[in-house]
Every structure is written in C-alpha cells, then in structure tokens.
Structure 1
C-alpha cells in the first residue's frame, strides 16, 4: 500500500488512506479519511454493536405485552 497523509487523501477525494503506522490497537491497515479511524477497529466495533442490539431486541421481545 502507498503511504499517504490524511490531508492529502482528503484533497484527492480518497475515502481511505494508509499511514504505515499501527493504530492504538495494533492494527496495521487503512484508515478512514473522514474520521481517521482504523478500518479493522471500525469493523470490530460494528460486529460488537450488532451483537449488543440483537441481544437487547431479544430481551425486549420477551417484555412486550400484546394489547
């Protein structure tokens, strides 16, 4: 992957950029230009969030009372 700064990536309209440095969680992958977050961290967060929502919905379905 080509190393490019976030500013340069935004200037040319790229959605992602690569710094060559690991994120705070040690992932060595691309980052999103819009917020600087690591692509892998974002994917892990999305998976965890979907699991939490699914669990909450399953719990809520047991609490719903038909009128």
Structure 2
C-alpha cells in the first residue's frame, strides 16, 4: 500500500464539490479517494506528455 503524506486542507468551490461528489460512486469512495485518483490521472497525463489532461483525466477518474 502507498505511504500517505500528512493530511492537508484545501478550499474548493461549490461547483467543484458537486463534481467531486458526483464521482464518489454512490458514496462508496471518500472524497479523499476521488481526489487521489484525479491527482494520479493528472500525474500520468503529465508524464505521458499531455500538456492539459482534459477529458482523459475525467474518464480515468470516473472508471476508478
């Protein structure tokens, strides 16, 4: 299992919160888990040479 960094606090907009909650798969994933998936997808897109992750990032986050 991955080693986790200390918790951090972030502020997001209501629209971002709604987007995040829509991707929680009916409450089976925590918001933190969804954010980790989105960050992982952004890192993968960057390493693959994509300047802007775009729809692939969203699709990756939704599949997990």
User: Greater strand share, 1 or 2?
Assistant: 1
TM-score range, shorter chain: 0.3 to 0.5
TM-score (norm 2): 0.34
User: Greater helix share, 1 or 2?
Assistant: 2
- Compare CA radii of gyration and give the structure with the larger one: 1
TM-score (norm 1): 0.33
